[in-house]
Amino acid sequence: MVARMPDSTSPRKGRPGRPRSAEADRAILDATRAALVDVGWGKLTMGEVAARAGVAKTTLYRRWANKNELVVDAVAVLFDELELPDRGCLKADIEGVVLQFGALLARPETKTALMAVVAESTTDDALRERIRSAIVDRQKRLVVLGRERAQQRGELPPDSPGTEGALAAGQAIGLIFDVIAGAIIHRTLVSSEPVDPAWAQNFATLLLTGLVGLG
Amino acid sequence: MVARMPDSTSPRKGRPGRPRSAEADRAILDATRAALVDVGWGKLTMGEVAARAGVAKTTLYRRWANKNELVVDAVAVLFDELELPDRGCLKADIEGVVLQFGALLARPETKTALMAVVAESTTDDALRERIRSAIVDRQKRLVVLGRERAQQRGELPPDSPGTEGALAAGQAIGLIFDVIAGAIIHRTLVSSEPVDPAWAQNFATLLLTGLVGLG
DNA sequence: CTCTTACGCTACGACCCGTAGCGTAACTGG
DNA sequence: CCAGTTACGCTACGGGTCGTAGCGTAAGAG
């Protein structure tokens, strides 16, 4: 395998020759998302993306080695829309981010692409790293921020490195992230039911008070 | 589209003609799982499955319309291994089933196939129904059983249809199932970290006592 | 024994993949 | 202004997979 462009985001400034077309980049990623909505992952072809983007097929292969990496980049930017506005208390913060994430996953291009590349990543280490750095790790910031806010409000105990039975902060963040993201993904994609305000409220209650609090 | 065999499980008894070979059925499903381990979902081809199973490619298409449905059936049986032995208390029951589900998802044929068919199901209603009936709904029994046991032990309040703010039993079961299955799937496939006893214990603690209990 | 269905095999057109080669376009440094 | 370098669009290609059709044969039902 010849060394290929690792990613399309590096500007490669100061280099001689004709520069990459930023418009082509954008057109390709837009076309990828649009095609995902129409035909889904399985029938998505590089040729069709190129045609939609008004670009030669070879131009795609100069930037991405295969369909997987292209789709990861096409979808990753959508996740940066997520925010965590301060709604006053931990429960409201949780409900807010759950609804945002739910709305993002409700979009057809997101749901069909995310699970597909995750599936491919189980037999492709490079792809798994790309997903982790481009999507997952970037969104853990929401958990970190929400946790810090709750600790400042006194809703959660502060980090206690020496306490018996306490969890290291990093482990706790990873656990919480898996629970929140996993539950939303599972409800949306597997159970195929909506993440609406009522569900978000029930989920936040469960997360805060545990199973007993569900009533 | 000509009417095709809806599934391969119906024995179609009392029908004239040569019956379907049960050995072929088994050989195909085994070959599918084996091939998934070796080449993953993306490079899995009907031709290779047929060759591994010692069967003509046309025989596959007489039973399954496409790769998706074949893989759903090949993987579905694995989920029936899950059990819920009575370990005395709710926390231990949760940890037990979490570890079982984690071990199941750690198997390469499971992880690579489950997410792939879920991804395809976002643009294929029939496939989504097949997944729901063959996999998801069958496993909700574990949540129902564990909940009933905990209620009999007095660890959880009984179903209270009229109580203010209480959740209907069906909604609670769906919520709990999404949280448990989603968290395990997310940790295994997205975070790609193991579901080991320590994690299972932390997760069970979170589920029982809520975020505050994490310390 | 006949009817019906399943099986293995071969062949096929259609489609997509990923790459090579070409002429042209765009930008850099002397 | 002029090489040098890189990107682009286009065409063409071998290789692989898809899903189907057609055939002769195998195996139960009545």
> Which of B112, B114, B174 is the closest to A191 by Cβ?
B174
Q: What is the mean pLDDT of chain A?
A: 91
**A10-24, A87-101, B51-65, B138-152: lowest mean pLDDT where?**
A10-24
Instruction: Give the model's pLDDT for residue A32.
Output: 98
Confidence of residue B4 (pLDDT cuts 50, 70, 90): very low
Indicate if the pLDDT at residue A1 is higher than 60.
no
Report in angstroms the alpha-carbon separations of B27 from B21, B55, B60, B64. Answer: 10, 8, 11, 14
What average pLDDT score do residues B160-189 get? 90
Report in angstroms the alpha-carbon separations of A108 from A71, A102, A104, A184, B30. Answer: 13, 12, 9, 15, 33
Q: B residues 76-105 near A, CB within 8 Å?
A: 90
> Which of B116, B176, B212 is the closest to A119 by Cβ?
B116
Domain B75-214, classified CATH 3.30.43.10, yes or no: no
Instruction: Give the model's pLDDT for residue A4.
Output: 43
The angle that helices B90-106 and B137-153 make with each other, rounded to 10 degrees, is 160
Q: Which nucleotides of C are covered by protein (CB under 7 A)?
A: 3-11, 15-21, 25-29
Give the C-alpha separation, B160 to B149, whole Å. Answer: 16
Residues of chain B contacting residue A212, judged by C-beta atoms under 8 Å apart: 155-157, 208
Instruction: Give the model's pLDDT for residue B16.
Output: 84
| Nearest alpha-carbon partner for B5 in B27, B25, B34 | B25
Confidence of residue B212 (pLDDT cuts 50, 70, 90): confident
* Nearest-CA residue relative to C1' of D28: B18
Contact (CB, 8 A) for B104 and B79:
yes
Question: H-helix or E-strand containing B84?
Answer: none
The burial of B171, by beta-carbon neighbours within 10 Å (0-12 exposed, 13-18 middle, 19 or more buried), is given as middle
Indicate if the pLDDT at residue B12 is higher than 60.
no
Instruction: Give the model's pLDDT for residue A12.
Output: 55
What average pLDDT score do residues A39-58 get? 97
Interchain CB contact of A214 with B (< 8 Å): yes
> Could you count the other beta carbons within 10 Å of the beta carbon of residue A164?
6
Phi, psi (degrees; rounded to nearest 5) at A158: -70, 165
A31 touches strand D (CB under 7 A): no
Question: Chain A: residue nearest B161 by CA?
Answer: A215
Q: What is the mean pLDDT of chain B?
A: 91
Instruction: Give the model's pLDDT for residue B215.
Output: 66
Instruction: Give the model's pLDDT for residue B1.
Output: 32
Structure confidence by residue, pLDDT tens digits, B33-52: 999 999 999 999 999 999 99
Q: What is the architecture, at CATH level 2, of domain B22-63?
A: Orthogonal Bundle (1.10)
The burial of B82, by beta-carbon neighbours within 10 Å (0-12 exposed, 13-18 middle, 19 or more buried), is given as middle
Contact (CB, 8 A) for B69 and B130:
yes
Contacts of A153 (CB under 8 A, 6+ apart): A89, A90
> Which of A119, A179, A199 is the closest to B119 by Cβ?
A119
Confidence of residue A17 (pLDDT cuts 50, 70, 90): confident
Q: How many CA atoms lie within 13 A of B194 on its CB side?
A: 5
Report in angstroms the alpha-carbon separations of B155 from A143, A212, B46, B143, B161. Answer: 30, 8, 50, 15, 18
* Nearest-CA residue relative to C1' of D21: B58
Confidence of residue B193 (pLDDT cuts 50, 70, 90): very high
The answer to whether the Cβ–Cβ distance between B179 and A175 falls below 8 Å is no
Indicate if the pLDDT at residue A25 is higher than 70.
yes
**A123-132, A202-211, B65-74, B83-92: lowest mean pLDDT where?**
A123-132
Instruction: Give the model's pLDDT for residue A193.
Output: 95
Kindly report the nearest CA distance between residue B192 and chain A, in angstroms.
9
Interchain CB contact of B116 with A (< 8 Å): yes
Indicate if the pLDDT at residue A9 is higher than 70.
no
> Which of B42, B136, B175 is the closest to A190 by Cβ?
B136
The structural domains of chain B, with segments of one domain joined by +, span: 22-63, 75-214
What average pLDDT score do residues B128-138 get? 90
Question: Chain B: residue nearest A128 by CA?
Answer: B190
Give the C-alpha separation, A161 to A163, whole Å. Answer: 6
Select the more confidently predicted residue: A1 or B173.
B173
Instruction: Give the model's pLDDT for residue A215.
Output: 66
Interchain CB contact of A60 with B (< 8 Å): no
SS3 A99: helix
What percentage of chain A exceeds 90 in pLDDT? 81
Kindly report the nearest CA distance between residue B15 and chain A, in angstroms.
36
Contact (CB, 8 A) for B109 and B37:
yes
The answer to whether the Cβ–Cβ distance between A108 and B124 falls below 8 Å is no
